[in-house]
Structure 1
Amino acid sequence: MNHSSAYMPGPVVAIDGGGTRCRLALRGRGADIVVELGSANVTTDFDAAISEISRGLELLSARAGIALDKLASLPAYVGLAGVAGPSVAEKVAEALPFSHIRVEDDRPSALVGALGARDGVVAHCGTGSFLAAQINKDQRFAGGWGPVLGDPASAQWVGRRGLTLALDAVDGLRGHSAYSQHVLDKLSGAAGIVQFASTARPADFGALAPAITAYAAEGDAIALQVVREAANSIAELLPILGWKSGMAICLTGGIAPQYASYLPHDMQSCVTAPAGEPLSGALSLAQAFSEEIANEHL
């Protein structure tokens, strides 16, 4: 008997957690049940991330009308920002109550969610960022190493870069713009910017990004420079991952869609709406994990 034909899909749990929000879903035979909470980045704050996920499981249990121990017995796929290697994945798995669990970083969920089975590339820019390609069923990832070592074009990078250029204007290295005046007023001058940056978390920098993309749309010189630098960093790396003209480009996450009009023309014409969200990708990966478990027991 073919293994795949013997597989009977059962309920699964999927978790997608990033620097801004964490979403948990139960997929059974009816409609998916979803709960949404705050940040869950296991590198930024492991204990807080696990606490948030645990709270989410309690909410999911209550909303689904399923006891928590029953929920924990289901196959679970967990894709989290900050899972930088097997040791972190193992630590997450041990901290959660599931008996069958697969823990990875948040990139595979986003890639599968956006592209489905299509060939293409994903530029995912939320609080953090990464690039990914799916070509002839091969997956390749770049970035996602966090705000200190990477995350170009992420919302936190955009917010932070905007502050740097505003301080350049204070030093007379470039002219002031409406955006630099806005952020200097907002944060009480150069000293206020330095004070803010000394304690700001990635999400705090990211919260500054919407103003930058809005000012860029109005032609503000400093804001435009930030957004163009971000778009250029994406445009330079996609061909290295295997993108070729005509291949789908999905811009996912809170800020990435803002870059579409700043990409080279051959890339602009390939920008396509994602097939689904990272959570839908996590659910697909949870179902594949469930099938693996079922096949192991045949």
Structure 2
Amino acid sequence: MSQLSVDGGQTGSRLRLRRDDGSHSDHDARPILTDRPVLPQVVALAEELLTSTGDTVECIAVGLSGLTADAQRPDALLDAATHLGVRRVALAHDSVTAFLAANRDHHGVVVAAGTGVVTLAVATGVARVDGWGYLFGDAGSAFWIGRAGVDAALRAHDGRGESTVLRDAAAERFGEMSELYMRVQADPGRVSAVAGFARTVAEVADGGDAVAERIIDDAAAALTESVVAGSRRAGWSTGHELRVSWVGKVLGSNRRLRSRFVELVIAALPEAAVEPPIGKTLDGVELLSEVDPRSPLRRLIAQAGADSAG
């Protein structure tokens, strides 16, 4: 069955067009903005790609960050996409597609960590942990690490905290320290800007700065806390499979953070197999329409159209 898979993020989207002969092509696209209706944006991306390639598809599968209950309307998406040849749609929060990408059909936990972070656990049930946004949650995310780095820099500047290389690094990144807070607060892209400082924190930690090392280690502890909470809420118990993995650059590219995370998870959950993701997030989107109806994950996937109940 021909399928268009859409991995819609707030900084950019990825689309995969898979044809009946099994061939596929991946495409970059603009972000899906969650401060406006998301389904029309998905249809617009599909129309643009399919018009440019001359293809039609039978199925559209979509994984979206920040997907709300109001936006999770597969019937509306199917109606809007019927003119493209679509007969079936599958729609889910990106924590679900992250889990499928990382763990496939294994029982386990995925930590999807980028600018923000959300953790999803699947065992006898399912449990989502954190993902509460930069104001109230996202513990261990790039924003969380970047903010902690700026906080440490300002404390060092004031004399309230330890001396740290982060002070000079923050001044280089954001400008003169006495005006840093005003400059960042006035920046409409401040969340991304602060999250971007996480890379600097990681580099400074790799250089042996004690303050930066503690921030990275604290982030690993926060992510581990979410894994433990999620596994228990999802009904996992000793003696059963638990595959713990991750998607996103925070754990994917930060060696110290990943190493510490693995150590802490194994210490907390000795039976867990902590392993790299099996695939990429777009692979997880492709699998949405194939999830076993008996899986607890299935109830988090909204489907409509031909054979959607099967």
What TM-score bracket applies, with the shorter chain setting the length?
0.7 to 0.9
Cα 1:248/1:237, change in 2 over 3 Å: same
Equivalent in the alignment of 1:240: 229
Cα offset for 1:32? 2.1
The superposition leaves residues 208-259 of structure 1 with CA deviations (integer Å, 9 ceiling, x where unpaired) of: 2111111111221222122112111112222222266983221210112322
1:290, distance to aligned residue in structure 2 (A)? 11
1:174 is displaced (CA, Å) by 0.9
Quote the residue 1:285 is aligned against. Answer: 288
Q: Which residue of 2 aligns with 1:86?
A: 69
Q: Is the counterpart of residue 123 in structure 1 residue 135 in structure 2? A: no
Look up the equivalent residue of 1:104 and give its one-letter code. Answer: A
d(CA) in 2 for partners of 1:91, 1:120: 27
Structure 2 match to 1:32 = 24
The equivalent of 1:112 in structure 2 is 100
| 1:191 and 2:178 correspond | yes
Structure 2 distance, partners of 1:77, 1:93, is: 14
Unaligned runs of at least 5 residues, structure 2: 83-87, 267-271, 292-300
Determine the structure 2 residue equivalent to 1:261.
Answer: 259
Q: Distance in 1 between matches of 2:28 and 2:211?
A: 35
Percent of residue pairs bearing the same amino acid type: 23
Would the aligned equivalents of 2:91 and 2:288 in 1 still touch at CA under 8 Å?
Answer: no
The whole-number CA distance in structure 1 between the counterparts of 2:71 and 2:169 is: 40
Q: Cα gap change, 1:57/1:178 in structure 2, threshold over 3 Å: closer, same or farther?
A: same
| 1:193–1:31 CA distance, 2 compared to 1 (3 A) | farther
Comparing 91-100 and 27-36, the one that deviates more: 91-100
Secondary structure (helix, strand or coil) at the match of 2:307 reads helix
Native 8 Å contact 1:75 1:290 kept in 2: no
Instruction: Tell me: CA distance 1:157–1:93, structure 2 relative to 1, closer, same or farther (3 Å).
Output: farther
Asked if the contact 2:75–2:304 (Cα under 8 Å) also holds between the matched residues in 1, the reply is: no
Q: For residue 249 of structure 2, give the secondary structure of its aligned residue in structure 1.
A: coil
Question: Is 1:295 the counterpart of 2:307 in the alignment?
Answer: yes
- Give the drift of 1:63: 5.3
Contact 2:72 2:92 in 1 (8 A): yes
Task: Give aligned pairs, total.
Answer: 279
Q: Which runs of 5 or more residues in structure 1 are unaligned?
A: 1-9
Structure 1 residues 46, 296: CA separation in 2 closer, same or farther (over 3 Å shift)? closer
Of 209, 213, 219 in structure 1, the residue corresponding to residue 198 of structure 2 is 209
Q: What CA distance in whole angstroms lies between the structure 1 residues aligned with 2:79 and 2:150?
A: 38
> Does the CA-based 8 Å contact 1:216-1:223 persist in structure 2?
yes
Give the CA RMSD over aligned residues.
3.2
Which letter does structure 1 place at the counterpart of 2:103?
Answer: L
TM-score by length of structure 1 reads 0.80
Aligned AA (1:234) = L
- Displacement, 1:57? 2.5
Measure how far apart 1:175 and its partner are.
Answer: 2.0
> What is the TM-score with the length of structure 2 in the denominator?
0.78
Q: Does 1:46 align with 2:36?
A: yes
